[in-house]
Amino acid sequence: MEAEERLTGGNLSVVVRVGDTVRREAGPWTEPVQALLLHLRGMGIQKVPAPLGFDAQGREILSFIPGQVGHDPLPENLRSDEILMAAAKLLRRLHAATTGSALLRLSGWQAPVREPVEVICHGDFAPYNCVFEHGTLVGVIDFDHAHPGPASWDIAYALYRFVPLMASGNPDGFGTLPDQIRRAKLFCDAYGLTDRAQISAILKARVAGMATFLREGAARRDERLLANIAAGHLASYEADTLYLEKIEIELSRALTF
């Protein structure tokens, strides 16, 4: 047996590396996720892990993508406009590859299906789920929260994390409001998003939803989510929701003109 190396991150599950593979806890959602990864690679998108089945412990096996993961707070070398645009283009490719596919009819996803169903959302498209090498985006990982839904749901969270559209007190944030607006426009342009009228409102709802998710987890005494709250994540989501409400009109005008 090859030695197991626990990987950093894995906020809600234990992830280990074994040789050139990654092993992670499986669940009812794993089979549709593996079908999604197989589909994406079949569509020529090699920046996602290859699904390799399950090991003797019942864990999901995926190919390992070497490089630097964009853990928070995002390092200076990963804050470039080039990486921002590359992320937007990759997200567009993921969405385009699933538009109209049979995957949209699969059940068993961990995250709830969200209407209107347009694409398979990654569900957590952020720098901490991307891999970089020499300042270039080389992969996206952790599709556990993938689910059918509107493309805007994914785009909104990507804007929150990659721009990032966060309050000044958030330790993961950087840049002034004018910087954030400029980068938000750059992301939308690179993605090719034409209908931007509601993206600011969806962004606010997306972040508020993260706060609700943690509160509900706390109410049922979920230890992993309680640890998230203790680490300050709930306070950050609440503060960022207020910030996004404050700038919603200004951001929406900037993105649509």
Higher pLDDT, 4 or 89: 89
pLDDT at 12 over 90: no
Residues 6+ apart with CB under 8 A from 215: 234
- Distance in angstroms (rounded) separating the CA atoms of residues 89 and 181: 18
Which residue type occupies 1?
M
Following CA atoms 133, 136, 138, 141 in sequence, which dihedral angle do they give, to the nearest 10 degrees? 90
Query: pLDDT at position 1, please?
Result: 61
User: Please, are residues 85 and 118 in contact by the beta-carbon 8 Å criterion?
Assistant: no
| pTM, full prediction | 0.95
Q: From the DSSP assignment, how many helices (H) and strands (E) are in the chain? A: 7, 10
CA 251 to centroid of chain Cα atoms? 21
User: Please, are residues 122 and 151 in contact by the beta-carbon 8 Å criterion?
Assistant: no
- Token digits of residue 34: 């593996």
Region 195-207: mean pLDDT is: 97
Q: Looking at the domain that runs over 68-256, which CATH code has it been given?
A: 1.10.510.10
Region 158-177: mean pLDDT is: 97
Mean pLDDT rounded to a whole number for the chain: 95
Neighbour tally for 36: CB within 10 Å: 24
Which residue type occupies 129?
N
Question: Which element (helix H / strand E) includes 41?
Answer: helix 30-42
Region 23-39: mean pLDDT is: 96
Query: pLDDT at position 48, please?
Result: 98
pLDDT at 11 over 80: no
Query: pLDDT at position 120, please?
Result: 98
256, β-bridge pairs: none
